[in-house]
Structure 1
Amino acid sequence: MRLKSLIKDSYTALAEKATQGQACWAAFRLARGLRLFAELLIPQRFFRTTVAVADPANGRRASFTVWGNKSGVWYLSRCFERSGLAVHETRDSQMTSTPPSIKFVWHNCAVSWKFRQNGWLVLPGQVRSQVDLSRGMDAVRARFLRSAKAAVRSITRQGLVYHIVPCDEILRRFYDEMYLPYREVRFAGNPIVKDFESVRRFAKGSVMLAVTDSRAKPPPKLEDMLGALIIRQNGKSATADLPGLNGDPLVALERGVVEALYYFSLEWCSSRGIERLDLGQSHPFLDDGILRFKTKWGATVEATQAGVHNLAVRFVDNGWLGRHFLANHPPIVYCSHKPPTADRKLPTPGLIGVARLPAGELSYRGLRRLWRSRMINGLRELLIVSDPDSPDESQRLAAQFPGVRILPCYDLRYLAEAVNSLSR
């Protein structure tokens, strides 16, 4: 009911615009609002799920709620599982013995400003990873992280090479024999999978980059491919997406075939004069494995324009679950979110990272570890939430790390207000 009242207030303001001669704009925004209401009323797509959480180490229990589709619930549940907690999903909020500590709401991006105004943190639904190729491949290699440089040495040592092949004739086999098996291993349990028609539309007019051993004769057959992905070019920019692996996906992952796919995509695009390569979308969390895999190739994180939904987060109490979430799954949040106006589109705000560091670990070594692991290209700054005994001393420590700011916060219920006030 709270969500519906927020949306109703925002669209009441749009209705007032209609009386001021802006009827077309108001009608357009009202139509998008009705679409969101329809999604909320269809249980197959949007529903509220309560997830009970337990810490096996000490027996602590808590819960959080998610308004969203199955894929959103699946990902947030896997986040907490990845950090060692036990989770149990249910649509019945009465099955949990405690009220939720965190609320997550997937919502239409047109009303994100209203959530932010009412004390929520707003995350982009997805973030994109883009690599700047305009200065040549040597400049790109200079931005590789240490793990990426080690992967390139392994690719060279194994004698892996790439081939560019048309994907029209083998697209169906690629989808069935390479793309789906890899996705089932990499994203086990995710109920959302791209259907073949979506893949076919993306591949129309595109090429397929295939990785093989040096012994394979060109053009390689599907049986000779170790892995492949599709590259779609649009002028001076391109998108590399839909990776697939041949044979046993686990063996190919250990061999570094996925690293070879993305490295060779950078090389081929650079040789073609492409200035910008999009490596696809990732979830807006600094610990997300796919996001970290892409940023090690020198990618910059940007808010995606393709998604319709953003994610709003509110900490209901100052319990252990909220602190655990910020410490283990630091979110990427919008640093501003202005309401739409009649004379311009929705503005694209910048991104900041929000992580937590306990006061006992607030030292030069602790900040250095967090800065090296959480600060990525594309973030305006990294906010470190802590409860320091000496705020002035903590700010002097943070000044030694570019883009880092300490945000004293002794109660997570007021965190969103503190973060949002920094960019008003």
Structure 2
Amino acid sequence: MRAAASLDALRARVDGPWEAAASAGRYLFAPLAERRLPLRRISGLTPSGRPATVLVAGASRTIDLWLQRVMPHGRELVGLGTEGTMAAARGLGGPGIDMVLARVPRIYGRYLAADGQLRLPEVVAQRAATAEMRRRLLLSKSVRSSAGLSHAAGLGWREATEEGAFERFYAQMYRPFAERRFGEAAIVRERAALRRRLAKGGLLWIEQRGRIVGGVLIERDRGVLRLLSLGTVLDPQAARAAGFHVAVRLAGLDQAEACGLDVIDFGGTMPWLTDGILRSKHLWGAVLGHKRWLNRDILVRWERCTPAVADMLAAAPLILERPEGLVGVGALPGDGPASPAGAASLARRLHAAGLTAMTLIGPAGCEPGATTVGDLPVRLAPPLPSNALFA
């Protein structure tokens, strides 16, 4: 049985470093070949019922998922043809547009963001110290409760050692689960690229009362255990109810401790502070960080901080990349003047380890002031254009 798993790992090594290097090169430089980007105007209602219109250049799962969150009702899409990549990166706009989002090559984003556009990474990293995860499991009521629900659902794990385990995982669990979970926004990694990762890792099965219901691909590297890709035969709602993601974390924790690894890398997370997966990982001790090897950025811009812009930032506060680190940008709900006390209260709810600062916009104006939540500086700002927010 273990020989079969070793065969999968051998196949991963046979793919060779040249193929891996070629794949990485294609990934990093492919965006530079995109001369023009699809342009869309998306209109809908914010959670408070305000009409909002966003101009989007480029196709991005991150943008699509964020818009679902900030425009939950009545979304309508109008295609506007294409726009040159450089023109989109330098800034678009027009009458009736509340916000512009442009997905551009990262090298453009790094330089063009200097003119006042805000730079949003497509994903952020979250990592936790193994010892901190174990401490949270012992002391945190919410973490203990979620682990208890997973155990009560009969979920456990074991190493996948049978022949063809990776092929079964990819075809029956990983790919279908990603497509069911994210729909048209799903991004499915290539089979060969994932198989190569077996050279320094393995596959763990998640079982429910002895039946294999899912798996997670892991990698062990320089003191870090990476949870690379997961999948399940359960539909997303059933997986959530059974605590499937909790079972994956428990499996990773057990593996990291058994291998003497100090850090668990949870992989990428959507870059807004109200994302449910981000909040859940935060409870387990995960710390936000920059995600390496991203080939694109999302440039964010608004000419006026309209009530619709404030509504969207209140529904899903963004995690921006700034010279000082990762900075949260959100807005206080409501139409009245904002106060530092109100900002501190909201910042406590939004706080995530790894942020270096947070800026909260008072949509109807604010009392000047700043505060701290723990060691996190929190700034209260009036409704400014995006290029003046950090001026």
Q: TM-score, normalised by structure 1?
A: 0.74
Query: Does the C-alpha gap of structure 1 residues 391 and 232 become closer, same or farther in structure 2, counting only changes over 3 Å?
Result: same
| Cα distance in 2, alignment partners of residues 270 and 252 from structure 1 | 25
| Cα distance in 1, alignment partners of residues 147 and 284 from structure 2 | 10
Tell me which of 111, 117, 121 is aligned to 1:120. 117
Shift of 1:165: 1.9
Residues 336-415 of structure 1 mapped to structure 2, 5 A cutoff: 336=323, 350-358=325-333, 360=336, 362=338, 366-367=342-343, 369-386=345-362, 388-392=365-369, 395=370, 398-399=371-372, 402-410=375-383, 412-413=384-385, 415=386
Q: What is the aligned length?
A: 354
| Cα distance in 2, alignment partners of residues 56 and 296 from structure 1 | 26
Asked if the contact 1:132/1:140 (under 8 Å) is kept, the reply is no
- Whichever residue aligns with residue 123 of structure 2, its letter is Q
Tell me which of 218, 221, 236 is aligned to 1:234. 221
Partner of 1:77: 67
Residues 21-420 of structure 1 mapped to structure 2, 5 A cutoff: 36-41=31-36, 46-54=37-45, 60-81=50-71, 84-92=72-80, 98-133=95-130, 135=131, 138-141=134-137, 146-166=141-161, 169-213=164-208, 216=210, 224-336=211-323, 350-358=325-333, 360=336, 362=338, 366-367=342-343, 369-386=345-362, 388-392=365-369, 395=370, 398-399=371-372, 402-410=375-383, 412-413=384-385, 415-419=386-390
| Cα distance in 2, alignment partners of residues 283 and 248 from structure 1 | 21
Asked if the contact 1:228/1:243 (under 8 Å) is kept, the reply is yes
Asked if the contact 1:70/1:191 (under 8 Å) is kept, the reply is no
Report which stretch shifted further, 181-190 or 304-313. 181-190
- Whichever residue aligns with residue 124 of structure 2, its letter is V
| Cα distance in 2, alignment partners of residues 322 and 163 from structure 1 | 47
Q: Cα deviations across residues 20-45 of structure 1 (Å, max 9, x unaligned)?
A: xxxxxxxxxxxx9996552133xxxx
Greater Cα radius of gyration, structure 1 or 2:
1
Query: Does the C-alpha gap of structure 1 residues 388 and 129 become closer, same or farther in structure 2, counting only changes over 3 Å?
Result: same
Gaps of 5+ in 1: 1-31, 217-223, 337-348
Query: Does the C-alpha gap of structure 1 residues 168 and 368 become closer, same or farther in structure 2, counting only changes over 3 Å?
Result: farther
Shift of 1:280: 0.8
Q: Cα deviations across residues 247-303 of structure 1 (Å, max 9, x unaligned)?
A: 444323211122111122112212210111111111211122332232221111101
Gaps of 5+ in 2: 1-26, 83-92
Q: TM-score, normalised by structure 2?
A: 0.79
Give the match's secondary structure for 2:284. Answer: coil
Asked if the contact 2:343/2:378 (under 8 Å) is kept, the reply is no
CA-atom RMSD, angstroms? 3.2
Give the match's secondary structure for 1:100. Answer: coil
Shift of 1:98: 5.0
Asked if the contact 1:211/1:260 (under 8 Å) is kept, the reply is yes
- Whichever residue aligns with residue 255 of structure 1, its letter is A
Query: Does the C-alpha gap of structure 1 residues 296 and 186 become closer, same or farther in structure 2, counting only changes over 3 Å?
Result: farther
- Whichever residue aligns with residue 181 of structure 2, its letter is R
Asked if the contact 1:56/1:86 (under 8 Å) is kept, the reply is no
Shift of 1:143: 7.8
Asked if the contact 1:357/1:384 (under 8 Å) is kept, the reply is yes
Asked if the contact 1:302/1:378 (under 8 Å) is kept, the reply is yes
State the percentage of identical aligned residues. 22
Q: Cα deviations across residues 355-388 of structure 1 (Å, max 9, x unaligned)?
A: 1115737468744542232100100122222255
Q: Cα deviations across residues 9-68 of structure 1 (Å, max 9, x unaligned)?
A: xxxxxxxxxxxxxxxxxxxxxxx9996552133xxxx3222212245975x533211122
More relative contact order, 1 or 2 (CA 8 Å, 6+ apart) = 2
Q: Which has a greater percent of strand?
A: 2
